[in-house]
Amino acid sequence: MKKPTRRDARLAAAPSAETPTVLAFEHAPMSDLVDALADGRVTASALTTFYLARIEAYDRGGPMLNAVRALNPDAVTIAGKLDHTRPSLKRPLAGVPILVKDNIATADKQPTTAGSLALEGARAKRDATVVKLLRGAGAVILGKANLMEFANMLAIDMPAGYSSLGGQVKNPYAPALMDDRDIPVVTPGGSSSGSAVAVAAGLCAASIGTETSGSLLHPAGLNGLVTVKPTVGLISRAGIVPIAHSQDTAGPMTRTVRDAALLLNVLAAKDPLDPVTLRQRRPADYTAGLASDAMKGARIGVPSDPADPLNDPYYGKLPPKWIEVIAEAIKVMEDLGAIIVRASMPTAGWIAGPGTTMAVLNRNPLSRNKGSPTMQWIVFLYELKHDLNLYLKDWATNTEIKTIADIVAFNEANADKALRFGQDLFLAANLTRGNLSEREYKSARAMDLLSARTHGMDAYLNQHELDAVLFPGAYGAAIAAKAGYPSVMVPGGFVSGTNDGKDTPDYPLGVTFSGRAWSEHKLLRLAYAYEQASRMRKPPPGLIAR
């Protein structure tokens, strides 16, 4: 593949002498790029070349964000074949360059590694369903985004955005690392860190990440993005390297709410390869009804009651600057006509049910808590072995790795490179039977649903007749994820602080709207109204066009 030059990047903004209009592609909404492609103001080839130049300048050079693990060697060729195909109802993403997280299978020349040295050369037998849908809609799969290794299920206290294969992803708003430990001063967020950083830094039009509990919401919030963590079953998980089928899902990373809705239109489809999708409910068009007055009359729950300060896990211990941002966000919603209901979440909802966690000894050599037992979710550890073994059997090729036990053995044999932070979670998962027959697993899953869904989200939404629950940042990720319910993150403002005594630059803070199963459309409409009134997204400083 031809290496892009800075001249290529400039030319992307002016594809021909007849169309001299210059567009600021690097931070433009995806919907603007779709319009430019439809109007002939840019070609798929030029747009793809532009993003490749951005990746060269800022991911491989400059601040070296390390958001992109690998580029698709056929991206320019694929784009060239789309140069004369305009976006349409049938192919709404024709020519749009998109990155996918490197735990999402692609049946092309790109390996699918989950950030693991053990899977460095592993390929996929076929496209994951989400990739198949993207290609069918005309998208150009630009490459694979870096991630926390195995989506943050390998080791305890592994830094967000680190993997043994891909290295450390940096937050584009604060790319500095700690001098002594090579850990970011400001985290890039959870396991979908590369997917988020790439969109925030203008390295692609949009990206796809995944979440089990917080891995879309956390990085989106810290990178000033919009994401949708959908109801489990709205988007197929077939072909995605798993953690836990009870909670796993994919979702879009975008710069605007409308862009997220556009991608959801493509991704939300029933798939026989993932039977849970067969019960999904969705509107014909997620962009319908996105309006600035959609907040009027909506009842928004704020799970923080000043009269009940001990039952306030979401707002009670926020830093002062967070409190200012959230207070301003709530004021914006009230000005839009929302009815704010301040009431504590039922304690049984967020505190988790009995027997839902288990202790795992922390042997991470670089952890400050080394030698201490840490509590981990039982459902994750038991489903990990079962689900990962199935993925390796049914999807992986070009690798001798066939089971989680093989990965553990590989890592031990290559400990100097593969186990900087250990593999305590894989060790614990590998000790399970792998067939989900254990009573403790079945009990833990039932208690997760009883606490988070029945006694938590359902009880709260029903009692106060709410349209959505408002959480600061990703603080509400776990309760919504365990219930299998959707969340939509939107930029809320900027904060700063200290990390190990070192002051941080300003970095983004998001706000999350969570709701009932299949309520994505309602949540998107609320998020859109707030987004249009607040206009809180600002691109990372210093990442100017080249």
Active-site positions?
101, 191, 215
Query: Tokens standing for 279?
Result: 């019960």
Give 86: exposed, middle or buried? Use CB within 10 Å, 0-12, 13-18, 19+: middle
Query: Tokens standing for 438?
Result: 């254990």
In the block, which residue shows the tokens 């958001």?
Answer: 67
What is the C-alpha end-to-end distance of the chain, expressed in Å?
21
Amino acid at 347: T
Query: Tokens standing for 102?
Result: 């490197």
Answer for the pair 250, 267: CB distance below 8 angstroms, yes or no: yes
Residue 118 makes CB contacts below 8 A (sequence gap 6+) with 401, 406, 407, 410, 411, 418
> CA-to-CA distance for 289 and 258, rounded, in angstroms?
11
> CA-to-CA distance for 274 and 292, rounded, in angstroms?
36
Answer for the pair 457, 348: CB distance below 8 angstroms, yes or no: no
Residue count of the chain: 546
Give 272: exposed, middle or buried? Use CB within 10 Å, 0-12, 13-18, 19+: exposed
The backbone region for 173, taken as left when phi is positive above 0, alpha when psi lies in -120 to 50, beta otherwise, is alpha
Can you tell me whether residue 268 is helix, strand or coil? strand
Give one DSSP letter per residue of 382-441, joined into a string.
HHHHHHHHHHHHHTEES-S--SHHHHHHHHHHTHHHH-SS--HHHHHHHTS-SSS--HHH
In the block, which residue shows the tokens 């195995």?
Answer: 150
DSSP state of 155: S
- Angle between helix axes 129-136 and 257-267 (nearest 10 degrees) is 110
> CA-to-CA distance for 385 and 435, rounded, in angstroms?
8
Q: Are strands 206-211 and 97-101 parallel, antiparallel or unpaired?
A: parallel
In the block, which residue shows the tokens 């869904």?
Answer: 453
> CA-to-CA distance for 196 and 253, rounded, in angstroms?
6
C-alpha angle 237-241-247 in degrees, rounded to nearest 5: 50
> CA-to-CA distance for 327 and 206, rounded, in angstroms?
30
* Residue 17 CB coordination number (10 Å): 6
Residue 98 has φ and ψ, to the nearest 5°, of: -130, 135
Query: Tokens standing for 87?
Result: 């976006």
